[in-house]
Amino acid sequence: MTATIIRRLLQTGLVVLVMSALVFAGLYVIGDPVLMMASPEATDLEREAIRRNLGLDKPLWEQYFIFLSKAVQLDFGNSFLTGESAMHLILERMPATLELATLAMFISMVVGIPLGIYAGLHPERLLSRSIMSGSVLGFSLPNFWVGLMLIMLFAVMLGWMPAGGRGPVEDFGPIQLSIFNWEGLRSLILPALTIATAKCALIIRVTRAATRECLPQDYIKFARAKGLHERRVLGVHLLKNIMIPIVTIGGLEYGQVFAFAVVTETVFSWPGMGKLLIDSIVNLDRPVVVAYLMLTVVFLAMLNLIVDIGYTVLDPRVRLGATAS
Amino acid sequence: MSRVVEPMQLDTAVEAGTGRVATTRWRRFVAQFASSKTAVIALVVLLLSIAAAVFAPWLAPQNPFDLASLDILDAKMPPGSTNFDGSLTYWLGTDGQARDVLSAILYGMRISLFVGFVSVTAAFVIGAAVGLVAAYFGGRIDAFLMRVVDMQLSFPSILVALVLLAALGKGVDKVIIALIVVQWAYFARAARAAAIVERNREYVEAARCMALSWHRILWRHVFPNCIPPLMVIATIDLAHAIALEATLSFLGVGVPVTEPSLGMLISNGFEFLLSGTYWICFFPGIALAIVVVAINLVGDHLRDILNPRNEV
């Protein structure tokens, strides 16, 4: 077990290293930031000075090496635009994305699991089929489309919620959250619903598949034969067992939500990390883009690792060593 | 999900040379497909959309790219209004540049579907080739190729496409490249999974005994048997590709303004949405949703029939 975890850790490290090289090389091809920063009337000499200041005159491998040694200290340089630390800019925006992603996952779990269990228990009923068809809608409709429709319906036509932006925030130590006040929650609900639509569809499908797999098992039959109340059979014996795939998928999806928030945040002008990424790409603000991508790489890689290990802990039948060989 | 899969491999092992076998297999497939009304309706809707896109120049009341036919006074007209001499009815209204929204949708559909089909076909070919080679040779080649696939898939497609397009710039061709890059890995994984099963079957052994070259064995013998699961992936990926292209165009890194796809039209209409001019954004959105959902419903049913068991 320990050996497996160490091996997986090493693999994860390798993945992160390779991705860092790819990110760095990829970003190097994106436009020349000097052209953007210097005024159009700048002389070649001035441009050269900026280039030297940014360290862009050094050979590529040296730039990469400097980048790497600074990256392990979480220093990705300063934003070309604002001069602030790129890492700081991202961390500043992180709570906004965090509360959005968390609320979205919460909604999709609360709605998705009961619907999925129902569809799994009675696969032939009309309602179950509607749920399943609905789930196809949920994950096939593009995210931004769902957002637009929600804006049109709830913001423009009904006027119940704001069409974008983030409500007033409250300080919780170093981080600011808007989820705990009514106005903030009102502006959070539409973007969260947008993300939840897609994730909910997935949770429904996973739950249904897991339920159908568990139902014919002996422990369910035995629980029923013991004469346990149906509520207990489903609520304890079934739920415990279907939670394994749901937690796995849910965990992986939580990471994806962070990345996919790019689209939703743009639609709703939500001041999170995703909006920052888009703005930075448009403005060729290289340090911020690199910092964002590196954080995402590490975050997703760690999440994969945790889910893998968590899987083993949750389900004693799965042994990492056995499957990895 | 629980439908029993017909033992296709038995027929194919006999080489589908005789027409009779092929016909019955095809008929069985058609009969199975027709068993779901939803899927049949979705297929019809999809075919109609494709026809509308292909014949857009003849169907559209107006050429939205022909500036001469646009009259700026007709901008932002609500659905059902007519132009000044009544010769043209804007059934779905006009946009900010006085383009007929219906015509723009038909032309936009053309670009969306074109990007989708081309990128999926290319991703199919590249992915299948990589997957087959990985499965056939195994060992280090397999391990290396699959690690590349794993790495690619561990990254959300939207992020990869965004960064790629930021590097490449705008353009229909560049969007296609980005879509191929984010999609080939799905095909590679599915092709490998299917080919690993096929690799150990007798007909491959027989082909090896006859000293056929490896590419001939892969292409003529293994590949045809891997097509069913790949077709399922291709269908669902087509919907993904169209939705992803729309998303990228919406974010402003996709197709250029001169060649507006559905996503671009939605993006253009977004600024008018908040002021209540809903139709510029709404109708292209509906068109996009119809196409994407129709493809997904067809794909969903195909998966039930062909059951490759490689996704949730």
A257 interaction partners in chain B (CB closer than 8 Å): none
pLDDT band at B75 (very low <50, low <70, confident <90, very high): low
Classify the phi-psi angles of B309: left when phi > 0, otherwise alpha if psi is within -120 to 50, otherwise beta.
left
Sign of the torsion angle spanned by Cα atoms B258, A262, B297, B12: positive
Q: Average pLDDT, whole number, for chain B?
A: 79
ipTM for this model: 0.76
Mean pLDDT, residues A111-120 taken together? 91
* Average pLDDT of the residues in A65-85: 80
**Nearest Cα to Cα of residue B237 among B168, B183, B198, B160:** B183
For B155-169, what is the mean pLDDT?
A: 81
Residue B124 has pLDDT above 90, yes or no: yes
Specify the residue for token string 């896109």: B53
Q: Which of A50-64, A254-268, B278-292 has the lowest mean pLDDT?
A: A50-64
Residue of chain B whose alpha carbon sits nearest to that of A157: B276
Taking 80 as the threshold, does the pLDDT of residue A220 lie above it?
A: yes
Determine the average pLDDT of the residues in B273-279: 76
Of B155, B251, B293, the CB nearest to A263: B251
Q: What is the mean pLDDT of residues B102-115?
A: 87
Q: CB atoms < 10 A from the CB of A36, how many?
A: 12
Whether A277 sits inside 8 A of B154 (CB atoms) is no
Lowest-confidence segment of A17-31, B14-28, B207-221 by average pLDDT: B14-28
**Residue of chain A nearest B269, judged by CA positions:** A148
Find the CB nearest B163 among A26, A137, A205: A26
Q: Give the lowest-confidence range in A244-248, A263-267, B72-76, B273-277.
A: B72-76
Q: What are phi and psi of A232, to 5 degrees?
A: -75, -40
Assign A318 a pLDDT band (cuts: 50, 70, 90): low
CA distances from A214 to A204, A231, B310 (A): 15, 16, 19
Q: What pLDDT is attached to residue A28?
A: 67
Max mean pLDDT range (A60-69, A160-169, B142-151, B172-181): B172-181
Stated pTM of the model: 0.80
pLDDT at A127 over 60: yes
**pLDDT mean over B134-139:** 84
Q: In B, residues 247-276, which contact A (CB 8 Å cutoff)? A: 247, 250-253, 263, 266, 270, 273-274, 276
pLDDT for position B11:
44
Which contiguous run of DSSP H or E holds residue B82?
strand B81-82
pLDDT of residue B2: 42
| % of chain A residues with pLDDT over 90 | 7
User: Quick one: tokens of B47?
Assistant: 């075919």
Helix, strand, or coil (residue A30): coil
Return the H-helix or E-strand segment holding B90.
Answer: strand B89-90
Calculate mean pLDDT across residues A183-195: 84
Highest mean pLDDT among A189-198, B31-40, B225-234, B299-308: A189-198
The structure tokens listed for A108 are: 């999709």
Strands B81-82 and B89-90: antiparallel
Yes or no, beta carbons of B166 and A18 under 8 Å apart? no
Kindly report, residue by residue over B205-252, the tens digit of the pLDDT: 888 788 788 888 888 888 888 888 888 889 889 998 998 998 888 888
Least Cα distance to B90 among B73, B99, B108 occurs for B99
Distance CA(B178)–CA(B183), nearest Å, equals 9
Instruction: Give yes or no for residue A107 having a pLDDT over 90.
Output: yes
What local confidence, expressed as pLDDT, does residue B117 receive? 93
Cβ–Cβ of B247/A143 closer than 8 Å? yes
Separation between Cα atoms, residue A181 and residue A195, nearest integer Å: 21
Single-letter amino acid, residue A284:
L
- Tell me the average pLDDT across A42-62: 77
pLDDT, tens digit, 9 for 90 and up, residues A223-242: 888 888 888 888 888 888 88
The reply to whether B46 touches chain A by the CB within 8 Å rule is no
Beta bridge pairs of residue A175: A172
With an 8 Å Cβ cutoff, is B241 touching chain A? no
The yes-or-no verdict on residue B188 having pLDDT over 60 is: yes
Residue B74 confidence class, pLDDT cut points 50, 70, 90: low
pLDDT at A288 over 70: yes
Q: Which residues contact A262 (CB under 8 A, 6 or more apart)?
A: A274, A275, A277, A278, B158, B159, B162, B251
Q: Are A161 and A167 in contact (CB under 8 A)?
A: no
Is the separation of the CB atoms in B165 and B174 below 8 Å? yes
Chain B partners within 8 Å of A209 (Cβ):
1, 312
At A106 the pLDDT is: 92
Minimal Cα distance from B246: which residue of A?
A: A142
Is B243's Cβ below 8 Å from some Cβ in A?
Answer: yes
Q: What is the pLDDT of residue B119?
A: 94
End-to-end CA distance of chain B: 11
Residue B91 pLDDT level (bands cut at 50, 70, 90)? low
